[in-house]
Amino acid sequence: MHRKINIAIDGPAASGKSAAAYLLAKKINYQFMDTGIIYRSFTNYCLKNKIDFENQDLVLSALQLFDMKWVNGHFLFNDQPSTEEIYNKNVTSKVPLIATLVEVRKLIVAKIQEIVQNQGFIVVGRDISSVVLPNAQLKIFLTSSLHIRSERRYQQYLKEGISITQEQVYNDMVIRDNIDKTRSTGQLVIVKDAIILDNSDFILATTVAKLKILYDNYFISHKK
């Protein structure tokens, strides 16, 4: 059996990061952490408490009251598991406002780093390789074409019974890609030591198999 390492997976929306990382984690017996859940859950908390998203001080005060724990491989926020609500349109459209606040990001990053002190995690997000776990042994930038990503997200919405047009999904994706890449903090970048995997032409099982090969290759090239 391999010794445990940490794996960072970054990439744009709907590139398949969480679906593939979840399955890989099961295969190799790692903990899977989707950091998007934190930004979404905190945005939902702010919406519920009518916090002014433009006012960083108010958002920071709200963050002090937003407790985050990692218990048995899942987040608990104020002692409650996250809900499907965090994927609704309202949260999705507001989360970039929270995710661009520098001081908010600092606290969230510190919290994730506190949780991921040991090895054996696959952490998924936008700034994992660059900011959260710059020492992760394996860094992967998982991507797919904009067309494929918006099609995948559209199919996800259809399955969940969410009424939205394909054009809306595409346009939202363009806006979110742009915010993710251009915000001044925690932006989506490809770090120098990342391995780029474009899975536009792969079904999910193929993406997982390719990730597993990258994982196995790491140990072949880092034999002690």
Residues lying near ligand CDP in the complex (CB under 6 A) are found at 11, 13-20, 35-36, 39-40, 95-96, 99, 125-127, 152, 156, 176, 180, 186, 199, 202-204, 207
Please name the residues in contact with 76: beta carbons below 8 A apart, sequence gap of 6 or more.
Answer: 67, 68, 69, 70
Residue 29 contacts residue 160 (beta carbons within 8 Å):
no
Q: Minimum distance between the CB of residue 12 and ligand CDP, rounded to whole angstroms?
A: 7
Q: Minimum distance between the CB of residue 222 and ligand CDP, rounded to whole angstroms?
A: 26
Q: Compute φ and ψ for 14, nearest 5 degrees.
A: 60, 30
Smaller CB distance to ligand CDP: residue 170 or 219? 170
Smaller CB distance to ligand CDP: residue 5 or 111? 111
Structure tokens at 154: 């559209």
Q: Give the residue nearest to ligand CDP (CB).
A: 36
Smaller CB distance to ligand CDP: residue 2 or 89? 89
Q: How far is CA 5 from CA 9, 31, 73, 149, 219, in A?
A: 13, 11, 16, 29, 10
Q: Minimum distance between the CB of residue 55 and ligand CDP, rounded to whole angstroms?
A: 19
Q: Minimum distance between the CB of residue 1 and ligand CDP, rounded to whole angstroms?
A: 27
Burial class (CB in 10 A: 0-12, 13-18, 19+), 71: exposed
C-alpha closest to that of 58 among 88, 85, 97, 90: 97
Smaller CB distance to ligand CDP: residue 3 or 74? 74
Smaller CB distance to ligand CDP: residue 6 or 207? 207
